[in-house]
Structure 1
Amino acid sequence: MSDFRKSDDPADVCLLMEGSYPYILGGVSTWTHDLIKSHADLTFHVVSLVADRATRKMAYELPPNVTGLTHVYLQDPDPGWPWVPGKAELMRRLEAPLKRLQQGGGLAEVEEVVRLLSRRRGKVGRRVLLNSEEAFRMVVGLCRETLPDASFLEYFWGSRALMSGLFATMLAPMPAAKVYHAISTGYAGLFAARATLETGRPALLTEHGIYTNERRIEILMAEWLFEGADTSLVVDKKKRDLRDLWLDTFASYSKACYDACDRILTLYGGNQEFQRRQGADPSRLKVVPNGIDYAGYSKVQRDTSKRPPTIALIGRVVPIKDVKTYIRAAGILREDIPDLKAMILGPLEEDPGYVEECRTIVKHLGLEETVIFAGRVKLTDWLGKVDAIALTSVSEAQPLVILEAGASGVPSVATDVGSCSELILGRDDEVPPLGPGGAITPLASPLDTARELRALLLDQPWRDRCAAAIAQRVARYYDKVEIDRIYRAIYDEHIALPTQTTLFERAPARGAA
């Protein structure tokens, strides 16, 4: 993986992508790729924040209007010099803002870190910030202050991972752009906050899913974070543990991003409540739903040949998609529909361990002839052969697959997460009501999922009514032509804004570098 820049001129838009485009296939990456292509007369620079320097294969061919690609290696910042003048004082002054960021800080703390590091950028790196004796003493102090009841060894490695990502984001090259657009909070949001502080140019945020909620799920599922934690049924809420360290730190990063961004966009109204709770200014919030190529997907031809009843889960085979529930639902459904085919259409390489666990369940249930892992596919080649799709995710925002399948006349059964209910059952302001486009089920319920899929597969008139309703809903509210127009108006407005005063032009706060 190598950085490139085709021109020294500022890009119109700098897109900030964490763990997704252009290396990971999926809803957010597809959305990003389509966004770039839809505004072919604008130039884009992509900042890809990835875990490490391992070689990655691009999942998308970058469009010609992408004029640059910059990588940020979150767990492997540049080494920097082995010794930097004043490093002891630097680490001493970093301790206070880092402590506040671990306990619910925000933009002021990020600005303080940027000030401290900016004059040393190109010199300071992981040797000083993570591996030096001074860094170790700082971590000891932080542990005593923020997590005194934790195992120091656990705190050391947990805080090191967090600080590595922070420092990598603060020290990476800053591409010149007229607008910085983060596609999540987290480290991408941190980069947006830093960009607007350093350049004076506006920043935008689009949250598909609420980053802190998704990290909370991952953190609660991470077994290593539970080692040494209090696992009793009576939890002492006054005692912080390593999970709180991670959750509070990511909440700080989200708050910094919210405070830095001129416009905070999300896909549906339910997300805005989470954003408000985490400190987002209500006056900056705006709902812009996902859009899909309705004209293209509506042309998918239904396969009317004699074939087995077919369902599909479309998405990455990763824990957050809860593919195991889908497999178990297929096992229940096969009791009534022996010739059932249950396709899994999506990449298999992101979490090989989880894929193997899913294959083991398939074998254990004797579903080798029923459940088929097809891997990456061209979706339009398959939707005409699918009677219903299932989405068993434990977290979603506004999944494109429901819209894409719906435009193709395929109803969905989905868990009650994100905007799935709104997509399938309709919005409150839907006039006239179009009716259900499938069904909503509880989380982790193979029985409910199987029951609703059975109704769609065995009751042709019901399936036809659901298919017609979801197709009309997508055409009315989620056509990408209209969504592109909205984003273009937002880009044009912010590209035209004057450059604001940067942090380097402002007097530092008392005590800051």
Structure 2
Amino acid sequence: MPDPLRVPQSGAARVTLLTEGTYPHSHGGVSVWCDQLVQGMPDFDFHVIAVTGTGREPLAWELPSHVSPPVTVPLWGPDPVGRAPRGRRRRQLMAAYERFLTALLDPGAEDQFGAALHELARSARDGLLAPALRTDQAVAVLAAVWGRPGLPVHAARPTLHDALTATDLLEHALRPLAAAPPEHGVCHAVSGGLAVLPGLVGRRLHGVPLLLTEHGVYLRERYLGYRTGPYRWPVKSLLLGFFRLLAEETYRTADLITPGNRYNRLWEEQGGAAPELIRTVYNGVDPAAFPAAGPEPDVPTLSWAGRVDPIKDLETLIRAFALVRKEIPDARLRLFGGTPRGGEAYRERCEALAAELGHADAVVFEGRVEDIRDAYAAGNAVMLSSISEGFPFTLIEAMSCGRATVSTDVGGVREAVGDTGLVVPPREPEAMARAALELLRDPERRAAMGREARLRVIEQFTLRQTIDTFRSIYTELADGGTAEGADLTAWREERRAGALV
């Protein structure tokens, strides 16, 4: 743990990282990436505003001395202290909230979103927003907006229960607005979504440059998650409207956007980002830390590494493995990685599926592994079955270890693999099984692919390249932004005024 009374380095550049559900309280690819950044730049002064679940999460990473103790913003912890405002201030807040809700629900009022969001942010910093959104009046405001006959959602007949549910979800989602925004240096949001909220406020109030890095596409993952969520359509519509407009506000406001792959750029440009402000920066690994894995296992084995989560689609992988085992009866599937809190039901569902298909004896959940290289070495081929990814570390780490891979064609996977692995459509167990069988039956091809994969990492995806790129970006933004800054500032203001909308 760093010393909470540590004095920042004199003259050191200050970077505030904005995270959600990742560094420094969780493991996973984005957390690894954050740790790489801070470890690689000991001459920078790092601060972290971390959006967490309950606020009771322990640190999962040992923070170096140039990283200050994180400021946590728990979404689902105890209700924030404070009392709802009264009188004129209450009327002002509820009027702003009504404009905010109207922007989410009325396509003709979307241009009001940014201004309304910042009005709510002012109340949040004063400790008034969360208590106000827990009142009956906040529910009544939403019910009244929903009741307008001209809105698309009106046909879905929202109920009082819908209004209570949606208001509660919005109250929790807006809690990051209450965090003290950064006032100096550079603000670096390491994903889109709720983590960006303090950065948007810091940009508006103090002119702190905002850098956005998207590994996956936050908005796309919200669409995927809410599709099977337990809420009725009026609630889903409201929340997805919030996430969409928040993404667009972020894309328009950010001084620079550095997606982890070219695929993300399509979403960012569609969301309003200026193409001139988008620079792809790939994740990198240290090839010396992930050397060639050595001999393959004696028993035909497929390995997988990651967190046990629906977005990783282990059910498709297990179904594909069942097809593989029809052809290679002694095959094994080893799954390495922890189960996040709240994800136990998904793991149990996957275990039940393996048993239902008759392969419980050959599908092993290994849990978190002390050395991730052991997970890659455990397989003749390494699998990735996700339905959404950015530029996955597990893939380039496995490639650096010289293992052939079978991956789903999502995010930046194809950019990472090139022709050194097999890429199949997501959610298609038959295609995944065919690819796995191709590799398991052809040891010479596996070995050649593994050698080519490691060479590809060394040539294109090293950690040193990633660190050097972000060091340059931090310095550039701290010194006054991008070369196109003046023209793009005017461009943003025109968009805000509606000239280009």
Q: What TM-score do the two structures reach when normalised by structure 2?
A: 0.87
Q: Determine the structure 1 residue equivalent to 2:70.
A: 69
**C-alpha separation in 2, matches of 1:388 and 1:157:** 49
Give, as a single letter, the amino acid of the residue that structure 1 aligns with 2:154: P
Q: 1:165 to 1:110 in 2, by over 3 A?
A: farther
What displacement does 1:402 show? Answer: 1.0
Partner of residue 403, structure 2: 410
The secondary structure found in structure 2 opposite 1:395 is coil
Closer, same or farther in 2 for the Cα pair 1:139/1:244, shift >3 Å?
closer
Distance 2:39 2:425 in 1: 37
Q: Tell me which amino acid in the other structure corresponds to 1:114.
A: H
- Asked if residue 399 in structure 1 is aligned to residue 382 in structure 2, the reply is no
Aligned residue for 1:345? Answer: 336
Q: Provide the rounded CA distance (Å) in 2 between the counterparts of 1:152 and 1:328.
A: 40
Tell me the residue number matched to 2:59: 58
Compare the two structures and name the one with the higher helix fraction: 2
Residue 201 of structure 2 corresponds to which residue in structure 1?
194
1:459 alignment counterpart:
442
Are the aligned partners of 2:248 and 2:272 in contact in 1 as well (CA < 8 Å)? yes
Give distance in 2, aligned partners of 1:355 and 1:181. Answer: 33
Alpha-carbon spacing, 1:181–1:81, altered in 2? closer, same or farther (3 Å): same
Distance 1:364 1:388 in 2: 25
Per mean C-alpha deviation after superposition, the further-off stretch among 187-196 and 202-211 is 187-196
Cα deviation, 1:402-450, whole Å, max 9, x if unaligned, reads 10000110011011111212222x2xxxxxxxxx222111221222212
Between the aligned partners of 2:223 and 2:45, the Cα distance in structure 1 is: 35
Please list the CA deviations of residues 151-200 of structure 1 after superposition, one character each: whole Å capped at 9, or x if unmatched: 22353144314421453122122344411111111111222211211221
Q: Which residue of 2 aligns with 1:421?
A: 414
For 1:314 and 1:119, the matched residues in 2 are separated by: 43
**402-411 or 259-268: bigger deviation:** 259-268
Partner of 2:295: 303
Match of 1:269 in 2: 262
Q: Is the 8 A contact 1:412 1:438 kept in 2?
A: yes
Closer, same or farther: CA 5–136 of 1 in aligned 2, 3 Å: farther
Residues in 1 aligned to 2:382 and 2:40: alpha-carbon distance in whole angstroms: 28
Q: Which residue in the other structure is 2:114 paired with?
A: 110
Q: SS at 1:66's partner residue? A: coil
- The one-letter code sitting in structure 1 at the alignment partner of 2:98 is E
Residue of structure 1 in register with 2:185 after alignment:
178
Aligned pair partner of 1:209 in 206, 211, 216: 216
Q: Tell me the secondary structure at the aligned position of residue 69 of structure 2.
A: strand
For residue 125 of structure 2, what is the aligned residue in structure 1?
121
> What residue number does 2:492 align with?
none
Separation in 2 of the partners of 1:335 and 1:94? 58
Measured after TM superposition, the shift of residue 39 of structure 1 is 0.8
Match of 1:142 in 2: 145
Q: CA deviation at 1:141?
A: 2.2
| Aligned counterparts, 1:224-303, within 5 A | 224-225=230-231, 227=232, 229=233, 241-297=234-290, 299-303=291-295
Q: Hey, what does 1:380 align to over in structure 2?
A: 373
Question: 2-side partners of 1:405 and 1:160: how far apart?
Answer: 44
Deviation of 1:265 (Å): 0.8
Write the deviation string for residues 209-247 of structure 1: whole angstroms up to 9, x where unpaired: 11111110111121x23x4x5xxxxxxxxxxx4433222
**Higher alpha-carbon deviation: 340-349 or 135-144:** 135-144
The answer (yes or no) to whether the contact 1:143–1:155 under 8 Å persists in 2 is no
TM-score (norm 1): 0.85
Shift of the 261–182 alpha-carbon distance from structure 1 to 2, 3 Å rule, reads same
Instruction: Count how many residue pairs are aligned between Structure 1 and Structure 2.
Output: 473
Structure 1 residues 417 and 123: CA distance shift in structure 2, 3 A: closer
Gaps of 5+ in 2: 486-495
Deviation of the 1:125 alpha carbon: 4.1
More displaced 10-residue stretch of structure 1: 134-143 or 484-493: 134-143
SS in 2 for 1:207: coil
3-state SS, counterpart of residue 68 of structure 2: strand
Amino acid across the alignment from 1:364 = E
Q: 1:6 to 1:137 in 2, by over 3 A?
A: farther
Separation in structure 2 between the aligned mates of residue 327 and residue 115 of structure 1, nearest angstrom? 49
Q: For 1:456 and 1:387, how far apart are their aligned partners in 2?
A: 8
Instruction: Answer whether contact 2:181 2:199 (CA < 8 A) is retained.
Output: no
Alpha-carbon separation, structure 1, partners of 2:355 and 2:188:
44
Alpha-carbon distance in structure 2 between the residues aligned to 1:460 and 1:65: 47
Q: Report the RMSD for the aligned CA atoms in angstroms.
A: 2.7
For 2:360, the equivalent position in structure 1 comes to 368
The Cα shift of 1:107 comes to 8.2
Contact between 1:393 and 1:417, CA under 8 Å: does it hold in 2? yes
Matched residue type, 2:472: A
Residue aligned with 2:24, SS: coil
Q: Which runs of 5+ in 1 are unaligned?
A: 230-240, 427-435, 501-508
Which one of 400, 414, 420 corresponds to residue 437 of structure 1? 420
Return the letter of the residue paired with 1:15.
L
Per-residue CA deviations over 1:113-151 (Å, capped at 9, x if unaligned) read 334552673441422x21224323322222224532332
1:295 CA displacement: 2.1
CA contact (8 A) 1:314 1:401 kept: yes
Aligned counterpart, 2:45: 43
Worse overlay, 97-106 or 437-446: 97-106
* Contact preservation (8 Å) 1:262, 1:284: yes
Task: Give the letter aligned to residue 134 of structure 1.
Answer: Q
CA distance in 2, matches of 1:218, 1:116: 26
CA distance in 2, matches of 1:183, 1:107: 26
Deviation larger for 118-127 or 263-272: 118-127
